[in-house]
Every structure is written in C-alpha cells, then in structure tokens.
Structure 1
Amino acid sequence: MSKQRTTVLAVANQKGGVAKTTSVASIGAALAELGQKVLLVDLDPQACLTFSLGIDPEDLELSVHQVLTKGLDPTEVILATEDGVDLLPATIELARAEADLLTRTGREHVVRGVIEDLDEKGAGYDWVLLDCPPSLGVLTVAALTAADGVLIPLQCETLSHRGVGQLLDTVHDVRRFTNKGLAVWGVLPTLYDGRTTHSRTVLETISQTYDLEVVEPPIPKTIKFAEAPAAGRSILSTSRSSKGAKAYRDVAANLVERSRRPKRAKRA
C-alpha cells in the first residue's frame, strides 16, 4: 500500500503582527495531536518560531541557513520539540540567505529540494509547514514554489488586508513560472473579537474582494497567545482548554480534511 505523500503548506503574509508564527506553531502542535508527523520550517530571519518552541537561536551553530545555502543535510539540523513536532530552526544568519541565493540558478527550488531530500531519506512527514518571512523576497517565493497550498493569516481589522493583493500577485507569478499546482487554501482570520461587528465586516470584505475561502473557525484574540512563546511551547501545551487552543485544533482538523480533497485548478 503506497504511503500518502507529504502535504506542504506555506503560511504567508508579508504584513507583520497577524499571528503568522503563532498559527504555524499551534497548527503544527494540533496536527501532531491528531497523530500526524509534522515538520515546521522557520524561514524567518527573526527566528520567532524557533524561539517560541523553546530553542534559543543564539545557541545554534547550524540552522536552515546552511541547509539552503550550503547544501547541508537537513537531518543534521532538525530538532525535536516538546510540542511533538520537529523543527528546522532559523537564526539571524538567514538574513544573508536572500543575498546568497539571489544570483544562484534555481534559487526558487531550494526549499522544494530540501523537502524532496527528506522524502528520499524516508523521513515520513505527513505535513511540512513553512513559516514564511514577512516579505515577498526569495525565501517566500521558494516556500511557495515548494508548497501544495498557501494559508494566509489575516488580522480582523481595517486595512489589515491591504497586502493580500500583492501576495496573490506573487502566487500568480509562482504558478506561471515555478509551481503550477500551488493552491490558495484560504484566509485564516486571527485576533478575532467576536463581540464586535467590525471583525465580522472585515472578514466578509476580504472573502468578497478576493474570492477566497475562509478557514474556520476564526482564532480569537486572547492574552494566552502572548504567554505561550515565553514558555517555549505552543498554546496547546500552555493553555490546553482555552478558546484559542480549541480554535487551532478545529482549524487543524479542517486542514486535514482540506488536504484530502481531489486536486483541481484554483483561481488566485
């Protein structure tokens, strides 16, 4: 019986402060709870994902930077975390990767190459989640080139979706040139305040403007998210029964269901 292939999901939004990294860590932990084998890849030079999972980037000699720019074997860098997911960590060195890769032939395919390398080595990941940097540079394009789908975390506030059009333009270009099969899986509403009609209005506007699916349920605004990275764990560990943890578990279950849909061409 053939093994189901790895699902690669890029989580991207070039606007900061939209709970992108929190979403990667929390969805990853929720997928692990569902019995999935998960790899998180930190592609952000700020290394927030690495830090939030209890690893100090300053203590690391090797990171995703050497994997992408020097061809280092990713299995030498991957770390296990207490949240039940594996991590390909980042350090500030990754800030140099854009320049290192800029003149390299096939730079758009470096992340895909790493994932294919892991598959060939029998790593057996069900999911690879790519935490993209808050820009539309080389690393984000490489992540989109490697991905089956892209998930766009979006803060439910006015003007928060101004950059979505630019991201969708990039997705369109990636489809044309490097990854014909890339699908937009939808918008994940974050920092959602259900008490206000304002949050709901912003959400309706984005789905109408860009004709994107909304991944349910919305992630509520809660102080529990701020507490989790300081503990070096995801909210699923630090506040298991909170509304935020429950929302991410529901989102993860919905993403698993989404991954089983037959593939078809989708419009950006």
Structure 2
Amino acid sequence: MAEQCPVIAITNRKGGSGKTTTAVNLAAELAARGWQILLVDADSQGHCALGLGVAPPTGHPGLHQLFRDAQISLASLQVPTLQPGLTLIPANTRFDGRVTGIEDDLLARALCELSGYDLIIVDTPPSVDPVLLNALRAADSVLIPVVPQVLGSAGVRQLAQLLYQVATQGRTDLKLLGLLPIMCDRSIPSHARVLSELGLTFGAQRIFRGIRPDVRLAEAFGAGQPVRELAPRSRGAMDYFMLVEELTALAEFPHPLSTTLQGDR
C-alpha cells in the first residue's frame, strides 16, 4: 500500500478489564463517523465477533492461522459486519498458542499488505505470548483500559514494563495514547485514589474521562450490537462517544486519510 495504515492496540494483561468491549465500541463509533475501520481480533477467545453479531463462515481459519502459515493473506480473512465502514478479522478460537519460531514482526508485515482502511484496531490477548508481542510490535500506539482497583492498577504497571521492553527492542516510536478507566465511578473514594496514583505515574493528562458502570454495555455485547445502536442514549454509548472526542483531539491520534469526520448521532 502507498501509505501504511495506523494501528492501535487495545491491551491489558488483566482479564475483565473491558478490553474487548472497548475495541468493539471504539471501532463502531469511529465507523459511524465515516472512518474505514478494520478490527483485528488477536485474542483467541474470539469475543469481537460475538460483540458485533458476526458469525464467521464455516471453516474460516481466523487471524491465528497467520501464526501457523506465514504466507496466508490477511485480505482473505476479512469478514464484513453489519456496521458500515467496519470490517473484522476474527480470531481462531481453537488456537492454543502452542507454536514456536514466530517472528515478532509477522503481524506488522501482514497488516502492511492491507489497504483501504483509515485505522486498524487490534484487540490483544491478555497473556504475554508471541501473539501479544506481535500485536504490540505492529502497533503505532496503545490504549490501555483499566478497572480502577488495586489489581487493575498493578496490571497496568506490569504492562508498562512490557511496553518499555518492546520500545527498547526496536519500536522506539510506540506511543501510549492513555489509560481508559472502565466501570469507573470517580465519586467512589477507592476509584478516585487509584486514578490519582495512576495519574502520578503516567501523567494526569494520560487518564481519559472513562467509561461509567452501565448494564447496557453488557446487554449490547450479548445482543451482538455496539452499545451506540442498542442503547444510543445510555451512559455507555455517551461515554464511548466522548472517548472518540478525546482521542481525536490528541495531536498524536491518527486522522483518516480519505474521509471527512461527521458525527452520526
């Protein structure tokens, strides 16, 4: 392709951090504004397809086939979704991670062969394995969802060490977009305390407004729809709308090459 498409990794080493919910709803919100989005599910749980109501064709090998067959074209793995402007490369839920000799930049090279997208969003696995390292090395920037609890805070610090390792091993341009508080109520003292501590560590400007607790997020995911479609006036929908507002205001956030952003609300 003439110009490499920017890649954002949504990552956290702790399960239950809202990583996949964020990947699905961020992708859907951007697509609704006119972006051409590719969502890549690198987590073998395969939940991105569930959250978008997508049933991959029978026998679809999924993204993880790339780590068994480096010659496969990612273009052949793309699956349309019901959201205009949003395409999915689903995971292979049968992938057990037992592969060796995977090159760290395999995914980066494969993504470079794709064209027609303004942004690629990668939902990463939580475990530190070759797939996660491939996703981080393919990314230009990272968004970290975090539940504002002690264990969530500890997980972010562990992830920061891994990001530093990736950056010092050739990806010196890898950017941290910021931390996204999930299921966050800043009126709860423990939440406010954890966010304050994370702000001291990473910089208060790196802490996004966040996503408040909202049962409609889980309901939408279970229904196979982005929350902006199932419950457009819910707190969850409003919060992901505001996340896109915050992200697109960042100088380091990639902007579409071929689209004009228009809100669709």
> TM class, shorter-chain normalised?
0.7 to 0.9
Looking at structure 1, the residues matched to 113 and 236 of structure 2 have their Cα atoms a distance apart, in angstroms, of: 35
CA distance in 2, matches of 1:212, 1:74: 38
What is the identity percentage for the equivalent residue pairs of Structure 1 and Structure 2? 28
1:116 aligns with 2:115: no
Between the aligned partners of 1:184 and 1:241, the Cα distance in structure 2 is 30
Unaligned runs of 5+ in 2: 255-265
Say which SS state the counterpart of residue 181 (structure 2) adopts.
strand
Are 1:135 and 2:127 counterparts?
Answer: yes
Partner of 2:44: 45
Give secondary structure in 2 for the equivalent of 1:181.
Answer: coil
Q: In the alignment, which residue of structure 1 is the partner of 2:197?
A: 205
- More helix per residue: 1
User: Secondary structure at 1:166's aligned position in 2?
Assistant: helix
Residue 252 (structure 1) aligned with residue 244 (structure 2): yes
**Is it true that 1:154 corresponds to 2:111 in the alignment?**
no
Greater CA drift, 20-29 or 72-81: 72-81
> How many aligned positions are there?
252
Task: Give the drift of 1:213.
Answer: 3.9
Aligned to 1:74: 74
Deviations 1:160-183 (A, max 9, x none): 211112211111111111312101
* TM-score (ref. length: structure 1): 0.87
Partners of 1:219 and 1:248 within 8 A in 2: yes
Matched residues in 2 for 1:94 and 1:69: separation?
10
TM-score w.r.t. length of structure 2: 0.87
Is 2:90 the partner of 1:89? Answer: yes
Question: Match of 2:62, as an amino acid?
Answer: S
Note the aligned Cα RMSD (angstroms): 2.2
Distance 1:227 1:148, change over 3 A: same
Tell me how far 1:68 sits from its aligned partner: 3.6
**Pairing of 1:152-231 with structure 2 (within 5 A):** 152-211=144-203, 213-231=205-223
CA distance in 2, matches of 1:35, 1:58: 27
Decide whether aligned partners of structure 1 residues 4 and 157 sit closer, same or farther in structure 2, where only a CA change above 3 A counts: same
- Conserved 8 A contact 1:154-1:190: yes
Partner of 1:30: 29
Kept in 2: contact 1:133–1:139 (CA 8 A)? yes
Q: Deviations over 1:67-104 (max 9, x none)?
A: 343121111111111133110001223323xx32x323
1-side partners of 2:204 and 2:73: how far apart?
37
Q: For residues 103 and 219 of structure 1, what CA distance do their matches in structure 2 show? A: 39
> What is the alpha-carbon distance in structure 2 between the residues aligned to residue 137 and residue 259 of structure 1?
31
